[in-house]
Amino acid sequence: MKLVRFLMKLSHETVTVELKNGSIVHGTITGVDVAMNTHLKAVKVILKNKEPIQLETLSIRGNNIRYFILPDSLPLETLLIDDAPKGRGRREGFPRGGGGARGGRGRGRGGRGGPRGGRGGRGRGRR
């Protein structure tokens, strides 16, 4: 399971987040998206060497997060169970590159090989 998928399950949990700039944020998660952007409510922000600030809501861009401090009461065993459906595996009988008679990929440069295929745009040659 990806870390972000785990964090996305933490809605309504109260956590502490340390940011890369040294600030500490304490609040209740309202949501986490796939970019690890974290949205909190009832937030207390402690900027480095400053007085704490109370905020109603706060959104943190994912790349600014150093780590999460989770509550001890969090049931990690149940949250870490991977409940995402498995992707479709490779179908039998087809090579890795494509899908049988149609579809798949192109055939390299030139398309079908007709009058415009191959080395197009070279004129009629030397005279």
The CATH number given to whatever domain includes residue 30 is: 2.30.30.100
Q: Please give the pLDDT value at position 35.
A: 94
Q: Is the pLDDT of residue 74 over 70?
A: yes
Q: Strands, DSSP E only, in 1-127?
A: 14-19, 24-32, 38-46, 53-60, 65-69
Are the beta carbons of 60 and 38 closer than 8 angstroms? yes
Number of domains in the chain: 1
Range of the domain at 53: 3-71
66-104 burial, b if ≥16 CB within 10 A, otherwise e? eebebeeeeeeeebeeeeeeeeeeeeeeeeeeeeeeeee
Q: Could you read off the pLDDT of 80-90 as tens digits, one per residue?
A: 887 767 666 65
100 within a domain of the structure (yes/no)? no
50 within a domain of the structure (yes/no)? yes
Q: Could you read off the pLDDT of 9-61 as tens digits, one per residue?
A: 999 999 999 999 999 999 999 999 999 999 999 999 999 888 999 999 999 99
> What confidence category does residue 69 fall into, taking pLDDT thresholds of 50, 70 and 90?
very high
Interacting residues of 41 by C-beta distance below 8 A, sequence separation 6+: 27, 28, 30, 56, 57
37 within a domain of the structure (yes/no)? yes
